[in-house]
Amino acid sequence: MDLRTLSVEEVLQIHEYLVQNFARSDNPLEPPGVRSMGLLSSAVGRQFTSIKDHLKYPDALSNAATLVYGLCNDHPFHNGNKRTALVSMLVHLDKNKLVLRRTRDKELFDLILAVAMHSIALTPIPRRTMRVDHPGSATSDDEVRAIRRWLQTRAERIRRGERQITYRQLRGILERHGYTLENPKGNYIDIVKFEEVKRGLFKKRTEYQEKHIGKIGYPGDGEVVPLKELKHARRLCRLTEEDGVDSDSFYEQVDAVDSFINKYRTVLRRLANR
């Protein structure tokens, strides 16, 4: 697979997106903007470091690791260096068709704090938390390798595309995600979701009510679902990659991508479609 990197312009786009995204939060990026274009170019340029015509960081994980290290520690922005570094890392992985699974936002924050405190190389890998209170004297190469190992325990390839399944199989898949197929009528069938409803004076009794989501074409349980109807069903149920549910998550019960990661890994894709 060809390595895909981030440009200075793309990192600037990410920073500007975060400035706007956090503008009304309790922790805005103030003051915003670039503190030093030289430092920004140096941080981004770490992706292209070569040794005798060979990239020093030739694979996607080590390349993402050196990028997040540079952006976090070179401090090219007035504010928001850690956030820009973190989102740039997620975008870098996404460009290389990788995503972090089994990872929550707190673990990402612990990672970036460990990178900023230079304690990442002192923490055994893999671990689900990071110590950030004992800065060390590890070299930058040690720290980049430690970031790569952290990523390696979580990063998985994104699988796209639909698979050939019958309507009976689709019903089973949808049921795993909290939906089902009900009420066939003519050449169509409803997609419904059963939602919990609390009943009784003290709302101690749980009942379920059926919520109509939409409908898809339906020739019979044993028939193969056409590609168009599969995509339509996933969009109706918000079970697409844009919702954090790639093909592995949808078809094979693989964990869906954490909402924080899913929101920020696709920043550049979403900006490009505006």
Query: What is the spatial order of strands in the sheet that 205-217 belongs to?
Result: 179-185, 188-199, 205-217
Do 123 and 188 lie in a common domain?
A: no
Is the pLDDT reported for residue 130 higher than 80?
A: no
**Could you give the dihedral angle defined by the CA atoms of residues 131, 136, 142 and 144, in that order, rounded to the nearest 10 degrees?**
50
Do 180 and 130 lie in a common domain?
A: no
Categorize the per-residue pLDDT at 125 as very low, low, confident or very high, splitting at 50, 70 and 90: very low
Do 149 and 171 lie in a common domain?
A: no
Do 185 and 153 lie in a common domain?
A: no
Do 83 and 209 lie in a common domain?
A: no
Among left, alpha and beta (phi > 0; psi -120 to 50; other), residue 244 is left
Instruction: Please tell me the pTM assigned to this model.
Output: 0.79
Beta bridge partners of 206: 198
Residues, the chain? 274
Which uninterrupted H or E stretch holds 241?
Answer: none
DSSP one-letter code for 177 = T
Q: Is the residue at 179 inside a domain? A: yes
Q: Is the residue at 80 inside a domain? A: yes
Write out the two tokens for 98.
């990788």
pLDDT at residue number 64: 98
Write out the two tokens for 133.
């209170």
Give the domain CATH number at 143: 1.20.120.1870
pLDDT at residue number 133: 41
Question: Percentage of the chain surpassing pLDDT 90?
Answer: 72
- Mean of the per-residue pLDDT values of the chain: 90
The letter for the amino acid at 199 is: R
Reference 264, options 100, 110, 154; nearest CA is 100
Tell me how far apart the alpha carbons of residues 34 and 44 are, in angstroms, rounded to a whole number: 13
Is the pLDDT reported for residue 224 higher than 50?
A: yes
Number of folded domains that form the chain: 2
Categorize the per-residue pLDDT at 268 as very low, low, confident or very high, splitting at 50, 70 and 90: confident
Which of 157, 182, 197 marks a domain boundary? 157
Do 17 and 127 lie in a common domain?
A: yes
Q: Is the residue at 149 inside a domain? A: yes
Categorize the per-residue pLDDT at 123 as very low, low, confident or very high, splitting at 50, 70 and 90: low
Do 125 and 68 lie in a common domain?
A: yes
Is the pLDDT reported for residue 126 higher than 60?
A: no
Q: Is the residue at 272 inside a domain? A: no
Instruction: Please list the alpha-helical segments (H only) found in 57-180.
Output: 60-74, 81-95, 105-116, 140-152, 167-176
Question: Percentage of the chain surpassing pLDDT 70?
Answer: 91
- Which pLDDT tens digit goes with each residue over 76-102? 999 999 999 999 999 999 999 999 999
Contacts of 57 (CB under 8 A, 6+ apart): 46, 47, 49, 63, 65, 66, 144
Is the pLDDT reported for residue 124 higher than 60?
A: no
Contacts of 86 (CB under 8 A, 6+ apart): 68, 72, 108, 109, 111, 112, 264
Neighbours of 165 (CB within 10 A): 15
Do 80 and 171 lie in a common domain?
A: no
Asked if 154 and 100 touch (Cβ cutoff 8 Å), the reply is yes
Q: Is the residue at 271 inside a domain? A: no
Q: Which domain holds residue 147?
A: 8-157
pLDDT at residue number 119: 94
Mean pLDDT of 61-68: 98
pLDDT at residue number 52: 87
Write out the two tokens for 240.
């697409």
pLDDT at residue number 272: 75
Indicate the range of 30-34, 71-75, 102-106, 125-129 predicted with least confidence: 125-129
Do 140 and 172 lie in a common domain?
A: no
Q: Is the residue at 3 inside a domain? A: no
CA 162 to chain CA centroid, Å, is 20
